[in-house]
Structure 1
Amino acid sequence: MKQLRIRDNAVVPQSTFCEISGITQKIANKTLKQLEREGIFVFPEQIDESDDLAAEQMILQGVNDCYYSGNVMGFLGYGNERLVITSRFADGETDYFLQYLLNRVMGYPNVVDLMTDADQDNALFHLLVFLFPRYLKAAMRKGIYKTYVQRDYNDSNVKGVIDVAQHITRNTPFVGTVAYHQREYSYDNALMELVRHTIEYIKTKAFGRKLLAAVRDEVALVVNATLAYQPYHRVKIVADNRNDPVRHAYYREYRALQRLCLLILQHEQHQIGSGSRQIFGLLFDGAWLWEEYIHSLLGDRFYHPMNKRGIGAQWLFSPRNGLIYPDFVSRNHMQRVIADAKYKPMQNIGNRDFLQMLAYMFRFDAKKGIFCYPETGQAGILHFQLNKGSTYENNVAAREDICVEKHGLKIPSKASCYESFVAEMKKQEQVFINAMQGIAT
């Protein structure tokens, strides 16, 4: 197997990709929206949840003789070629940082070392399976999926269109029953059957029942709705769902769940990446993971508006103009603080970030703004005072009442194993939490 590791947000010479030319040709200069149609699974769904990913963003963008990688991490495969994209804040070959973020944000247990598993297909498969409860819960918030299905009957109570061929085959000589079919609005449809097959498949895994325990109520609803479930129908159900994807915008969560179920079930039929669809992959938005991770550390001291979901929308102007979604707004309205999670090195937090922060601070009458970023060097706090005056009048001076700070959360390096990395992260988190609590109190 040919494998290449690169980092996110990196510039890599095109000659580096000569060993995996097949996968490079498949993904280079293609947008996430295009690749998603070809089988790449992006988490979160970039159009619905992620503020930092755009459908037009590329995994690899060719510029002159180099490829620029995007803001995503994960696995990609094509035939016997593998591309692993690690975090730029990871230390060495082992990306404990991504594994830790997945564990904190999404509840992934430490079942695989994401970047050192000898069988990358199995590593990817485990990731897909552990996504299932989250996607099932999100879809079931819309209720059980219901749609029209065609049912075949053979009885004396005719209510639909007579199926002449079946009637002749099944009712000759005539015994008083008629073969017919009827369209019904039902919960027991191809999509719900697909979800049921996925649930039953996960149950066969060693970790399956423990994993599904987190969505026990949702699983029960699916089981009760799929009375026609039969294990030997799996191939037909998979084919029906591949040919008839969910299209209605209201059920976009079910569309994501459908895609995930297809990837999981097709892994058993043929290893991911083989067969009719050869390219596969699972990618995570680094900026989204970092923001949700910071949210888990800040706790209930800050509001957390979320773009795309329409949660916590704020406006710069009245009437309702200039829509904004600051990452974090402190609940203490007497001494308001704005915090912004930045998945980038400290030196890359520059003018555009400062301008955005100042706009948020002005809107909420905040005297302090904080950038929270991953730090691989010496973690600390950089303090910037807002200027007043003008160089034209030669009276520029620092204001004492308004400031912006950069707070780095130290990412451990040289960890001998994942457990050692976690222990060190806990220490660094406490330092970061103590600093933020002192500010937001």
Structure 2
Amino acid sequence: MRLLRIKDNSPQKKDAFSQIKKLTGKIADKTLEQLEREGVFVFPETIKNAEDITEDQMILQSVNDSYRSGNVMGFLGYGDERLIIESRFGGDEEDYFFQYLLDRVLDFPNIVDLESDANQDNRLFNFLLFLFPYYLKTAMRKSLFKKYIRRRYNDGNAKGTIDIARHIEKNTPFVGNVAYSQREFSYDNSLMELVRHTIEFIKRKPYGNNLLVKVKDEVKLVIDATPGYELYDRQKIIEQNKKNAIRHAYFREYFALQKLCLLILQHQKHQIGSGSRQIYGILFDGAWLWEEYINLLTEDTFYHPMNKGGKSAQRLFDGNIGLIYPDFISRNSEVRIIADAKYKPIDNIGNRDYLQVLAYMFRFDAKIGYYLYPKEEGFDDLKLWMNRGSTYEANVMPRDDISITKHGLKIPVDAPDYAGFVAKMKIFEQEFTSVFSV
């Protein structure tokens, strides 16, 4: 196996990728959305109208004689070639920051050392298992999935289409029963059966019950809704779901859950990415993880519209025109603040980022803006005052009432272990949020 480890948001000479040349050719200059269509599991699922699905979300972007990684972390494979993308704050052996983001946002178990397992495919499989509670909870916020199915009966209360061949087979000589079938709107359908099979599969893992206790109410609902579950039906249920993917936009959360369940249940027989020519892996959108993490820290101070979830959309203009999703809008309407989470280095925040936040500030009558980004220790905040005047009149000068601040959260890079990293993060989080409570 040929393995290469790189950092997110970092340049790397193309020569370094010579050992994984085939894999690099499959992923270079492609967006998350493109890779997702090719079979790579992307978390969270990409949405076409999301603002962040641009070149920033590329795995590797060609820049002269180098490749620049984007805002993604995770694992990719192709044949016997492997690529691990860690956070840029990770150490030589452990990536505590990536682990911490997964722990805070997704309540992940402590398994982020991607290279500690001799079998990388098993490591990838564990990631898929640990994502199941999140996807199950998200899908079932829309209640149990219900659809029409065709059931077959043989009794004296014929209500649907009579099955002549089956009737002759089962009811000769005639004793009063009729073989028939009818369409029914039911919770016990192929998708819910697939979810049930996944639950039963996870239960048999050593950590299965601890994993499922996070969604015990949802698990109970699924079990109660699938009285027709039989273990020996698993392959039939898998084939039914492979042929009948959930396509309706309203149920996109169930489509994501269906895709995850199929990957989990097919792992034992086929392995993930079976076939020497198939690309496979799991990638985490670091920008999304960072934004959700910041929301956990500041939810008492800011509203948090969510573009990927399509929640709390705002509009620039009257007539429902100009859809926008500012990352954070302060709850204090007297001194309105607009904040934008950026999972990238301070020097990469500029140009389009400035225009975007200034437009949001203008829309919400805010005179204070923030970029919230992760930084190494030792870097100070940078406050930018907006200019007034024009170079044509030679009267350009900074205003004293409108500013945007690049406000970083310190990330420890020298912690001796994960417990030490968490302890330092708690201190830095308090420092980070204190500026909003003044």
Q: What TM-score results when the alignment is normalised by the length of structure 1?
A: 0.90
Q: Which letter does structure 2 place at the counterpart of 1:198?
A: T
Map of 1:102 onto structure 2: 102
1:94-243 map, 5 Å: 94-114=94-114, 116-171=116-171, 176-243=176-243
Q: Which letter does structure 1 place at the counterpart of 2:129?
A: V
Q: Which letter does structure 2 place at the counterpart of 1:293?
A: Y
Q: Which letter does structure 2 place at the counterpart of 1:197?
A: H
Map of 1:7 onto structure 2: 7
Paired residues of 2:59 and 2:72 also in contact (CA < 8 A): yes
Paired residues of 1:48 and 1:309 also in contact (CA < 8 A): no
Q: How far apart are 1:199 and its partner, in Å? A: 0.9
Q: How far apart are 1:380 and its partner, in Å? A: 1.9
- 1:115, 1:404 → 2: CA distance? 40
Q: How far apart are 1:13 and its partner, in Å? A: 3.7
Per-residue CA deviation, residues 351-381 of structure 1 (Å, 9 max, x unaligned), is: 3222222222222222221111111251322
- 1:42, 1:231 → 2: CA distance? 29
Q: How far apart are 1:50 and its partner, in Å? A: 5.2
Q: Which letter does structure 2 place at the counterpart of 1:436?
A: F
Q: Which letter does structure 2 place at the counterpart of 1:345?
A: P
- 1:351, 1:15 → 2: CA distance? 31
1:392-431 map, 5 Å: 392-431=392-431
Q: How far apart are 1:260 and its partner, in Å? A: 0.7
Paired residues of 1:33 and 1:55 also in contact (CA < 8 A): no
- 1:156, 1:393 → 2: CA distance? 93
- 1:329, 1:183 → 2: CA distance? 49
SS of aligned partner of 2:437: helix
Q: How far apart are 1:168 and its partner, in Å? A: 4.8
Q: Which letter does structure 1 place at the counterpart of 2:246?
A: V
Per-residue CA deviation, residues 214-249 of structure 1 (Å, 9 max, x unaligned), is: 222211111111111011111111111112111111
Paired residues of 1:190 and 1:240 also in contact (CA < 8 A): yes
- 1:62, 1:359 → 2: CA distance? 30
Alignment coverage as a number of residue pairs: 438
Per-residue CA deviation, residues 237-295 of structure 1 (Å, 9 max, x unaligned), is: 11111121111111111100000111111123343222599432111111111111111
- 1:50, 1:132 → 2: CA distance? 23
Paired residues of 2:196 and 2:229 also in contact (CA < 8 A): yes
SS of aligned partner of 1:105: helix
SS of aligned partner of 1:123: helix
Paired residues of 2:374 and 2:409 also in contact (CA < 8 A): yes
- 1:373, 1:432 → 2: CA distance? 10
- 2:56, 2:434 → 1: CA distance? 39
Identity across the alignment (%):
62
- 2:151, 2:347 → 1: CA distance? 63
Q: Which runs of 5+ in 2 are unaligned?
A: none
Paired residues of 2:42 and 2:282 also in contact (CA < 8 A): yes
Per-residue CA deviation, residues 76-99 of structure 1 (Å, 9 max, x unaligned), is: 123332211112333334322111
SS of aligned partner of 1:408: strand
Q: How far apart are 1:151 and its partner, in Å? A: 2.1
Q: Which letter does structure 2 place at the counterpart of 1:424?
A: K
- 2:233, 2:275 → 1: CA distance? 20
Q: How far apart are 1:62 and its partner, in Å? A: 4.6
Per-residue CA deviation, residues 391-437 of structure 1 (Å, 9 max, x unaligned), is: 44443333222222111111111222222222221221121122232
Q: Which letter does structure 1 place at the counterpart of 2:390?
A: S
Paired residues of 2:377 and 2:412 also in contact (CA < 8 A): no
Q: Which letter does structure 2 place at the counterpart of 1:210?
A: N
Q: How far apart are 1:65 and its partner, in Å? A: 5.1
Q: Which runs of 5+ in 1 are unaligned?
A: none
Q: How far apart are 1:178 and its partner, in Å? A: 4.3
Paired residues of 1:44 and 1:50 also in contact (CA < 8 A): no
SS of aligned partner of 2:113: coil
- 2:26, 2:350 → 1: CA distance? 34
Q: Does 2:69 align with 1:69?
A: yes
Paired residues of 2:287 and 2:342 also in contact (CA < 8 A): yes
SS of aligned partner of 2:315: strand
- Residues 205 and 62 (structure 1), Cα distance of their counterparts in 2 relative to 1, 3 Å cut: same
